[in-house]
Structures are given as structure tokens and as C-alpha cells.
Amino acid sequence: MDESDANGEAGGRIELGSASAAPGTLDRGRLPVAELPTGGAERLPVVVANGAETGPTLWLTGGVHGDEATGVAVVQDAVAAFGDCLADLAGAVVAVPAVSPAGLRRNARETYYADEDPNRHFPDADAESARPPKLQERIDARLYAAITGHTPDNTTEFAVETVGTNAAADALIDCHTAGVGSEPFAIRDRVLYGDRRSESAAAALSAELGRLIDAFGFPVVREYPAAEYVEENLQRSTAGAVLNEAGVPAFTAELGAHSVVDDALLDAGVAGVFGVAVELRLLEVEEVPESVSEPGVGVDPAPVEFPVRRFRGPTTDDSGLVRHRVAAGDAFAEGDVLASVVDAAGAERATVRADSDGYVLGRCEGLAVYEGDPIGSLAVRDDGDLVVPRDADEE
């Protein structure tokens, strides 16, 4: 879309699917997004906390990957806490705790619609395909329309019903979890400019994003460089599309390990959401419920002071069994040994060293590795720009 303005202030009754919340009330409902072969519809659970006063609208999403339990719980608990302070809330909070019911039914990252990541199919006007959109693309486009109030330009082949602009987001937090034993962090996407957004508009959007993500209180890890970002279709993730397609500040919160709810990070995630709400002026600090901690409490700060970006690696050139020599949260310098690769009898075959300074976010799952496999999820030093042309080849 063109350079975006703020969506303005929410006001009056907010309706989303079957949820309908008058000012000063909270309501829960379902948003139909697809028909099922056996009858009925695929419906997303939605919660609308509509404040007594007008103001911006904050969207919370979780569970786009069905095994990422803490993200679902953070969205549920955060919106419930907003329900306890509706008289003070100046604006609205709209929540979709489980974006992927089909993944949740399986307790799995992927759905049974297709064996692929459901968080890579949100709208991108530059995406080209000779085939009609598959079901996941249609579901994601319908949710995107609800979040942004805009129908994607390249979805004319199928119906997308938009909701009223009083539900459109002024900011979005997408709640996820990462790998086993992962450190918590917030991902800051780079803002792309080009045909549909000027460099100055991208810089303003990036500054607004930085303000909100800092308020969340987690260590900030920048997203991949622009060329890799587009190659991985991350501009078609929930936060990536809302940020780079719709021009609405959006970021991803990574809340530790998947599969089970981490209670400590649950509390920290809810606190982070309220930190963003205060920054948006949905609430004043003194109006935050006493049950909610200050942002950042219970989350260790990054062990390095320089800016970092996500990096999956380094990779091994030898097959074998991986023996990690560093743990999540450990800082390292370029050249440090991160892991050894041994044969099944325990004899060392190779060492895997860091290509840059940084710290460990988490280990890749599994004991066996093959040639070319990454051994970890790292945060490595990043000297790149936060505002970049879409086709930048940033190394």
C-alpha cells in the first residue's frame, strides 16, 4: 500500500466476527476464515477489550505455530488483564490468541492444510504466482484484512471481507516461541522502502517501531539482512506483512521454548504488552493493574552491548553428532568454538567456530547433524541499516 497514516482513534462499538464490544466492555467470539470439507467453518478465537475512552488500537496475535504455547497464553492473559482496567483504557486491544487452530489441534508448527510454515503466506503485493492462492494464503489474507482494515491488492481471485476501520491496528505484537532452551527476545524487522514507500516514510515507521519494541522490555534482535529476509519470505510473516505491507508498527516476541507454557516468561510477556500499551498511551503507568510486573522483569538483558541480528548457524562441514560447547545466553567472540562434531563412538571429527562476535539464543534441536546443518540460533553483531531498499544485497 501507499505510505500509511495512523489508523486514528478507536471509538464506539468494535465488532470482529461474532465479538461485539461497546465502549467499556470486553467480548469474546469467533472470526470465520474458511469453510471446512466436513461442514462448518475454520474460526479464529477473538477477544475485544474496548476501553471507555477513545484512543489507538493494539492487536495481539499468538499461536500462528500450533506448538508455541507461551505465545498463546500471553495473548490470553494480557487481554484478560486489560479487561480489568477498561474504565482507564483509552483505546482498544484486539486479540487473536490462536491464529492457527489447525496447527493447535495437532500441537504442531505446521497445519494439515499443507506441510509448510503457515507464517509465510500473509499478503505481499510483490509476490507473483501462476497458481490460485491455496487455503493458508486465503486464511492469512482474511486475517490481514481484519488487522489492517485493507483488502490486499493481489487477492481479487477470492473473497476477502474487511472489517470496519475502528478495528484496524495502530500497532501489533505477534507472540511466538523459539527452540528448546531458547533465550527470550524481540525481533525488530528492517523496514523496506521502494515503489510503495519512500525512504523518509520508512525511516519514520522504523523509529516508531523502535519506540514500541524498546517499551516491551526484552533484548532486541534485528531480523535478517534485507536480501535474506525477502528470500525467506519473512515479509509475508504476520508482523512482517503488517509492518512492511501495511505500514503499521509490528514486531515478534519470542518467548522461550515451545510446547509448554513457561510461567516466568508468561508474566514477562504480559508485562511487555502493557509496556507497549503505556507507550501508545492506552494507559498511564499508574493505571496498569498491580498484578502486572514492570517490563523486563524476569528477563536477562543481552550479554553484549552492540546491536545484533538473527543468524541460524554456523554450519558444519562434517556429519556426526553435535556436542555444544556454549549454552543459551553465553556471549562469544569471533573464532570461539561453539560446538564439536564427534562420531558415534565419541571421537572428535571437527570443531565449529563463530564467524562473528555475538551471543547464543538457543541450540538447534537434535543430536545428529549432516553436512551443511546449522548448529545454533545466534545473535551476531550487526552494523547494517534498519531502513533498507527491498532489493538490497546487504552482507
The count of domains in the chain is 2
Q: Which grid coordinates are listed for 183?
A: 533465550
Q: What per-residue confidence (pLDDT) applies to 11? A: 64
Residue of higher predicted confidence among 334 and 165: 334
Q: Does residue 295 form part of some domain?
A: no
What are the phi and psi torsion angles at 19 (to 5°)? -80, 135
Q: Does residue 271 form part of some domain?
A: yes
182: Cβ contacts below 8 Å, ≥ 6 apart = 254, 256, 257, 328, 361, 362, 377
275: Cβ contacts below 8 Å, ≥ 6 apart = 215, 216, 217, 294, 295, 296
| pTM of the predicted protein model | 0.94
Same structural domain, 323 and 226: no
Q: Does residue 265 form part of some domain?
A: yes
Which of 287, 321, 345 represents a domain boundary (last residue)?
287
pLDDT tens across 33-70, in order? 999 999 999 999 999 999 999 999 999 999 999 999 99
152 within 8 A of 47, measured Cβ to Cβ = no
pLDDT over 70, % of the chain: 92
pLDDT tens across 233-256, in order? 999 999 999 999 999 999 999 999
Same structural domain, 182 and 226: yes
What are the C-alpha distances in Å from 24 to residues 89, 119, 169, 205, 350? 8, 33, 18, 30, 62
Instruction: Give the pLDDT band (50/70/90) at residue 1.
Output: very low
357: three-class secondary structure by DSSP: coil
Same structural domain, 250 and 332: no
Q: What per-residue confidence (pLDDT) applies to 7? A: 43
Kindly report the CATH number assigned to the domain that includes residue 267: 3.40.630.10
Q: What per-residue confidence (pLDDT) applies to 154? A: 55
Residue 163 sits in which domain range? 14-287
Q: Which amino acid is at 85?
A: C
Same structural domain, 118 and 55: yes
Q: Does residue 224 form part of some domain?
A: yes
Q: What is the mean pLDDT of residues 340-362?
A: 97
What are the phi and psi torsion angles at 175 (to 5°)? -95, 125
Q: Does residue 188 form part of some domain?
A: yes
Q: State yes or no: pLDDT of 8 exceeds 90.
A: no
Q: Does residue 6 form part of some domain?
A: no
Q: What per-residue confidence (pLDDT) applies to 9? A: 52
> Cell 478507536 appears where?
10
| Percent of the chain that is helix, strand, coil (3-state, to 5) | 25, 30, 45
Kindly report the CATH number assigned to the domain that includes residue 323: 2.40.50.100
Q: Does residue 391 form part of some domain?
A: no
Q: Does residue 56 form part of some domain?
A: yes
pLDDT tens across 89-101, in order? 999 999 999 999 9
Residue 6 to residue 313: CA distance in whole angstroms? 38
Q: What is the mean pLDDT of residues 309-313?
A: 97
Same structural domain, 226 and 316: no
Same structural domain, 22 and 75: yes
Q: What per-residue confidence (pLDDT) applies to 150? A: 83
Q: Which of 149, 125, 154, 126 is nearest to 138 (CA)?
A: 154
Same structural domain, 230 and 137: yes
Same structural domain, 256 and 347: no
Query: Which stretch of 8-22, 37-51, 185-199, 377-391 has the lowest confidence by average pLDDT?
Result: 8-22
Q: Which amino acid is at 385?
A: D
Query: Which stretch of 8-17, 37-46, 79-88, 240-249 has the lowest confidence by average pLDDT?
Result: 8-17
Same structural domain, 151 and 194: yes
- Please state, rounded to an integer, the average pLDDT across all residues of the chain: 92
Which of 254, 287, 320 represents a domain boundary (last residue)?
287
Instruction: Give the pLDDT band (50/70/90) at residue 323.
Output: very high
Torsion sign across C-alpha atoms 20, 86, 289, 217:
positive
Q: What is the mean pLDDT of residues 314-328?
A: 97
Q: State yes or no: pLDDT of 272 exceeds 60.
A: yes
Same structural domain, 181 and 323: no
Same structural domain, 75 and 144: yes
Q: Which grid coordinates are listed for 163?
A: 472489517
Residue 140 to residue 235: CA distance in whole angstroms? 13
Alpha helices of the chain — where are they, by DSSP H? Answer: 69-83, 101-106, 135-148, 199-216, 226-231, 238-244, 263-279
132: Cβ contacts below 8 Å, ≥ 6 apart = 157, 158
Q: What per-residue confidence (pLDDT) applies to 128? A: 74
Same structural domain, 266 and 341: no
What are the C-alpha distances in Å from 369 to residues 16, 25, 26, 322, 377? 46, 53, 49, 6, 15
